[in-house]
A and B are shown apart, each in its own frame.
Chain A
């Protein structure tokens, strides 16, 4: 038995597992592992009907995705309540992403309702979906397909108790997405971890390229210059993947690539100052340019993690940003390579 199940409730359609509304150590470990992006992050829940408390045929039915973190976020808000939870098969993907992929979809809702035999267990004909599932689900078609009316509930699971208190109605605040600093901060570790392989390759290339000079190849130059180049790459990553998300609404401009270029310029100057003892004027310029290019590119990629960037907007900023990033990176590498010959 899964650790989050702590009993069963009898229904005309068989036993339904009752789940805990508090998280265990194992749940928290899974959350941390997923958030860091190191190790497996595909924790799933078996799709089907679950419940909390002692629900009756009149109790409300919440629908959610079978991504473990989503399931945990929902059940931990339901302490003291009697609610059915219908877990749809979204292949372990969260509601928002699954809705965009047609996994949290009209068809999936109809299949879930039917295979759980909800009509035999429940006397009413309403299911409550998270509002962020709406891009994948046509409420009127679900009703036609299985007889259940879709009610869109709050975006955030933490609003569920308030939603139930209001008689299963959302208010304006529950329907509006938000992107507070804590939501932005939790994304940072994964973004950085995903880059570790690329960073290792870049570091290796940096040491090798840094060794070339008038004496053909110098190991001491490879080391001293290489360190500077690696530092610039790391500063670029921190600037684009951490500083930009944290300071997102404090930075000027609406597009992401200039935000990243700005923080990258500051990070690059700091990096160049750290190495001012060993590196010349051309090399310092190259370090700053490299940091700008890396940071700007990564900041642009952060668009995918925000709940307000339209694909049309992202594509148009990419057409402006990418040529500038590529040009800056190329100039940085060129200056870096010719610097030893000019000393």
Chain B
């Protein structure tokens, strides 16, 4: 999505090339086309486009990818903060 960019240098995504077997699953599932397979290894082509959805890590058969997955939604994060403060469940409009 070239016309939509979010904050740079902040995603929790990391790739352990030694563990990668080049199966290509990460490239298939990433909705932002962040990975490319070159010489039987995955490469992160566009780190800053990562939305931390977790699809790549979930589908990597060798556990070569790590990312802290979650929903990028302010009202969900506020609901979580309130939950930690009050121990009461707060509904958020996010999905």
Question: Which chain A residues in 86-140 approach chain B with CB under 8 Å?
Answer: 93-94, 96-97, 100-101, 131-132, 134-140
Complex Cα–Cα for A327 and B25 (A):
47
A177 touches B31 (CB 8 A): yes
Report if A76 contacts B (CB, 8 A): no
- Beta-carbon nearest neighbor of B77 in chain A: A315
Complex Cα–Cα for A16 and B53 (A):
34
- Which A residues are closer than 8 A to B by beta carbons? 93-94, 96-97, 100-101, 131-132, 134-140, 152, 155, 170, 172, 175-179, 191, 194, 248-249, 254-256, 300-301, 303-318
14 contacts across the A-B interface (CB closer than 8 A): A131-B55, A134-B53, A139-B59, A176-B31, A254-B5, A254-B6, A254-B7, A301-B93, A304-B72, A304-B92, A306-B4, A312-B11, A314-B73, A318-B74
Q: Residue among A248, A255, A308, A310 with the most chain B CB within 10 A?
A: A310
B4 touches A308 (CB 8 A): yes
Report if B85 contacts A (CB, 8 A): no
Complex Cα–Cα for A131 and B58 (A):
13
A311 and B6 contact, Cβ closer than 8 Å, known pairs A152-B29, A172-B33:
no
Task: List the A side residues contacting B53 at CB < 8 Å.
Answer: 100, 134-135
Report if B42 contacts A (CB, 8 A): no
- Which 4 pairs from chain A and chain B are nearest by CB? A304-B73, A97-B95, A309-B72, A311-B70
Given B4, B12, B25, B76, which contacts A312 in the complex, CB threshold below 8 Å? Answer: B12
Complex Cα–Cα for A308 and B59 (A):
20
Task: List the B side residues contacting A176 at CB < 8 Å.
Answer: 1, 31-33
Report if B14 contacts A (CB, 8 A): no
Complex Cα–Cα for A167 and B69 (A):
32
- Return the CB mask of B63-75 against A: 1 if under 8 Å, else 0: 0000011111111
- Beta-carbon nearest neighbor of B52 in chain A: A310
B52 touches A94 (CB 8 A): no
A314 and B77 contact, Cβ closer than 8 Å, known pairs A135-B55, A138-B59:
yes
Task: List the A side residues contacting B4 at CB < 8 Å.
Answer: 179, 248-249, 306, 308
Return A128 CB to nearest CB of chain B, in Å: 13
Report if B3 contacts A (CB, 8 A): yes
